[in-house]
Amino acid sequence: MNNLIVKNASQVVTCSGFAGKRGKEMSDLQVIENGTVVVTGGVISHVLKEGESIPINPSHYKVISAEGKALLPGFVDPHTHFVFGGYREEEFAWRMRGDSYMDIMNRGGGIVNTTRATRAASEDELFAVGKQRLDAMMQLGITTVEGKSGYGLDKETELKQLRVMRRLNEEHPVDIVSTFMGAHATPAEWKDREDEFIDFNINEVMPVVKQEKLAECADIFCEKNVFTTGQSRRYLTAARKHGFKLKIHADEIVSFGGAELAAELGCLSADHLLQASDEGIRAMAQEGVVATLLPLTAFSLREEFARARTMIQNNCMVALATDFNPGSSFSASVPLLFALACIYMKMSPEEAVTAFTINSAAAVGRADKIGSIDVGKQGDLVLLKFPSYKFLPYHVGMNIVDTVIKNGKEYSEE
Ligand code: NIG
Ligand code: FE
């Protein structure tokens, strides 16, 4: 039935809106004190102020008393690589000893290391680990997650990863937005033939992904010693012709013109951006490209954090994501994400909440359906154990999620 009333929440943090928010707009969460939210048939049907009531028959609804608890939109994680085989704990230890992420990648570790394990894994094995990871994310309040292929780097395995995500989307309550990332790295069999590998992706893999409706977005790792801006332009332009929404891993390790390219192509989002130039930031704001920042990655790689303040001052739409993956950020820790965003990237709690709800919904092209508590949106909600959203960064590293509601159905912490 999926009819539910969340009654008298100390705060209903609506994040109200149907599009991503820019600059100063990110500070306004449109909070209703002591509010009530009604979900009917899985969809938000009423958002009520204190004392407001409506003529519904409560016997048709499950009622949750939310006194002393803040209610938010379900979190949207707009950048992850959560379907993969194997782990890379040795590489983490090497990095702690001083090796860089790129050194390890250039000597045959990194993404291609995970590619070996992902090629070797069966579809059922990937499904099983994917499911466990989604369960963990959901306990942290994530109700929609973007997931990328890119650990196949051959046709068969890229399709396998995407099919696993399709099955997970059908069978798991968390919604999945799938992204084709055939150009994540160049595998050994294409070494020094990057241009041909891009052609292979464009001509052999992309059309099948499109035909089988296996992904909504396409993404590429635009970075020194990975794929050039020229190769990225070619790949993304072809993806656009196929009707994919465009994403790009941009300016992560060096300033490389990725943000500028994202603006030129009108990408939905540009992600990482640790080294994005002033020019690139202005261009993204101008063209409405969502700047998706990944503080858990900067933290795990011991890199400087992205310049969130400069981006917000320049009127960008800033989103946050975990980047959950086996290499640069083996974490989907929402609590740590909020803490790093506020403590190190100097975002306000309000900006961070906007960035992980309505703006992250915009980063996956779904701001009209999720990411806020507005009538007509999916009944995806998170109830906190504390009375204010301000506890999210403040209770550093602690999971303060009390109840997750997905399409009006309640999932309580055991
Ligand atoms: O977003 N930078 C490229 N891709 C991923 C890391 C993937 C990996 O190391 O396995 C990222 O950080
Ligand atoms: Fe990534």
Among all chains, which residue has been given the structure tokens 């109200």? 16
Tokens of 118: 């992902």
Question: Is the shortest distance between the CB of 111 and ligand 1 below 6 Å?
Answer: yes
Q: How far away, in angstroms, is 251 Cα from ligand 1 center?
A: 12
* CA distance readout (Å), 121 to 84, 152, 157: 8, 11, 9
The domain that contains 254 carries what CATH number?
A: 3.20.20.140
pLDDT by residue for the chain (414 residues), tens only, comes to: 799 999 999 999 999 999 999 999 999 999 999 999 999 999 999 999 999 989 889 899 999 999 999 999 999 999 999 999 999 999 999 999 999 999 999 888 999 999 999 999 999 999 999 999 999 999 999 999 999 999 999 999 999 999 999 999 999 999 999 999 999 999 999 999 999 999 999 999 999 999 999 999 999 999 999 999 999 999 999 999 999 999 999 999 999 999 999 999 999 999 999 999 999 999 999 999 999 999 999 999 999 999 999 999 999 999 999 999 999 999 999 999 999 999 999 999 999 999 999 999 999 999 999 999 999 999 999 999 999 999 999 999 999 999 999 999 999 754
Would you state the pLDDT for residue 185? 97
In this prediction the pTM is 0.98
* Distance in angstroms (rounded) separating the CA atoms of residues 199 and 222: 16
Instruction: Mark whether 157 and 215 lie in a shared domain.
Output: yes
Name beta bridge partners: 148: 179
Q: State the DSSP code for 204.
A: I
Instruction: Verify that 270 and 376 share a domain, yes or no.
Output: no
Token pair, residue 227, equals 């794929």
With beta carbons less than 8 A apart as the criterion, state whether 387 and 70 touch.
yes
Coil vs helix vs strand at 132 = helix
Measuring from atom 3 of ligand 1, which residue has the nearest CA?
221
Identify whether residues 14 and 96 lie together within a single domain. no
| 58 shares its domain with 155 | no
Q: Are residues 305 and 398 in the same domain?
A: no
Burial class (CB in 10 A: 0-12, 13-18, 19+), 50: exposed
Q: Does the Cβ of 221 fall within 6 Å of ligand 1? A: yes
Same domain for 46 and 163, yes or no, is no
Q: How far apart are CA 380 and CA 390, in angstroms?
A: 20
Q: Are 65 and 80 within one domain? A: no
Strand order in the sheet with 142-148: 75-77, 142-148, 175-183, 217-222, 245-250, 269-272, 290-293, 317-320
In the listed set 363, 379, 401, which residue is the last one of a domain according to the structure? 363
By alpha-carbon position, which residue is closest to atom 6 of ligand 1?
328
Instruction: Give distance in angstroms: CA of 110 to centre of ligand 1.
Output: 8
Does ligand 1 lie within 6 Å of residue 325's CB atom? yes
Task: Tell whether 87 and 148 lie within a shared domain.
Answer: yes
80 Cα to the center of ligand 2, angstroms: 6
Q: Are residues 141 and 280 in the same domain?
A: yes
Ligand sitting nearest the alpha carbon of 114 = 1
Domain that holds residue 273: 76-363
Which single residue is written with the structure tokens 């997650």?
145
Query: How many Å lie between the centroid of ligand 1 and the Cα of residue 326?
Result: 8
Å from CA of 224 to ligand 1 middle: 14
Q: Count of residues for the chain? A: 414
The ligand that comes nearest to the alpha carbon of residue 146 is 2
Whether residues 50 and 99 share a domain: the answer is no
pLDDT digits (tens, 9 = 90+) for 162-194: 999 999 999 999 999 999 999 999 999 999 999
Token pair of 6 as six digits: 């969340």
Q: Are 380 and 369 in contact (CB under 8 A)?
A: no
Provide the domain count of the chain.
Answer: 2
What separation in Å is there between the alpha carbon of 325 and the centre of ligand 1?
7
Same domain, 332 and 408: no
Ligand 1 pocket test target in 99, 323, 329 with most atoms within 8 Å of CB = 323
pLDDT at 29: 98
CATH number at 40 reads: 2.30.40.10
Is 347 in the same domain as 381?
no
Q: Token match 């309040």: residue?
A: 141
| pLDDT score for 58 | 85
Nearest CA to ligand 1 atom 12: 328
The C-alpha atoms of residue 387 and residue 401 are separated, in whole angstroms, by: 11
Ligand 1 pocket test: pick from 101, 106, 111 the residue with the most ligand atoms within 8 Å of its Cβ: 111
